[in-house]
A = this chain, B = another copy of it.
Amino acid sequence: MNRKATALDVAKLAGVSRSAVSLVLNGRGDGNVALESQQRIREAAATLNYTPNKIALSLRNRQSRIIGIVSDQVVTSPFDGNIIAGADAVAREHGFVTVVMDTELDGSRDEGAVETLLDRQVDGLMYVTVGLRPLHVPANMERVPSILANCFDDRPEAGVGAVIPDEVRGGREAAEHVMSLGHRDIAFLAGDSLTPAAPRRIQGYRDAFLRAGLPVNEARVLQVGWDIDAGFHGAMKLLDGAEAGRRPTAILCANDRLAIGVVLACYRLGLSVPQDISVMGYDDEFRVAKSMVPALSTMALPLREMGAAAMTALLGDVTHHRTHVAEGSETDGAPGGSGTETMVPCRLVVRESTGPVPEGR
Cβ–Cβ contact B261 & A293, under 8 A: yes
Minimum CB–CB distance for A229 against chain B, Å = 5
A263 beta carbon closer than 8 Å to chain B? yes
Binds B, one of A48-56, A149-157, A175-183, A203-211: A48-56
Q: Name the segment of A12-20, A75-83, A340-348, A353-361 touching the other chain.
A: A75-83
Looking across the interface, which residue of chain B has its beta carbon closest to that of A115?
Answer: B51
A59 to B261 CA separation, bound complex (whole angstroms): 55
Query: B residues within 8 A CB of A263?
Result: 264
Q: Considering only CB atoms, which chain B residue lies closest to A228 in the complex? A: B291
Q: Which of B52, B59, B97 contacts A55 (CB 8 A)?
A: B59
B residues near A144, Cβ cutoff 8 Å: 1
The listed residue (B88, B104, B292) touching A228 by CB distance below 8 A is B292
Say whether B97 contacts A120, CB under 8 Å: yes
Nearest B-chain residue to A89, judged by Cβ: B104
Q: How far is the CB of A317 from chain B (nearest CB, A)?
A: 12
**How does the 8 Å CB contact mask read for A317-330 relative to B, with 1 for contact and 0 for none?**
00001000100001
- B residues in contact with A37, CB < 8 Å: none
A102 at interface by CB-CB < 8 Å? yes
Shortest Cβ distance from A265 into B: residue: B293
Which of A59, A104, A265: most chain B Cβ within 10 A?
A59
Check B228 against A321 for contact (C-beta < 8 Å): no
Task: Return the chain B residue nearest A1 by Cβ.
Answer: B143
Knowing A76-B82, A325-B1 are in contact, say whether A51-B119 is a contact too (CB < 8 A): yes
Which residues in window 258-298 of A have CB below 8 A to B? 260-261, 263-265, 267-268, 270, 285-288, 291-293, 295
Say yes or no: is A169 at the interface (Cβ < 8 Å to chain B): no
Q: Smallest Cβ distance from A125 to chain B, in angstroms?
A: 12
Does A312 reach chain B (CB closer than 8 Å)?
A: no
Asked if A116 CB lies within 8 Å of chain B CBs, one says yes
Pick from B81, B119, B286: contact of A81, CB below 8 A: B81
10 A-B pairs besides A52-B119, A53-B121, A97-B101 with CB distance below 8 A are: A55-B59, A66-B99, A77-B81, A81-B81, A85-B104, A97-B99, A97-B120, A227-B291, A228-B292, A267-B268
- Selected A-B contacts with CB under 8 Å, 8 pairs: A54-B119, A55-B64, A78-B79, A97-B99, A99-B99, A227-B291, A228-B288, A264-B267
Please provide the 5 A-B residue pairs with the shortest distance between their CB atoms, ordered closest to farther: A78-B78, A227-B291, A267-B267, A232-B293, A99-B99
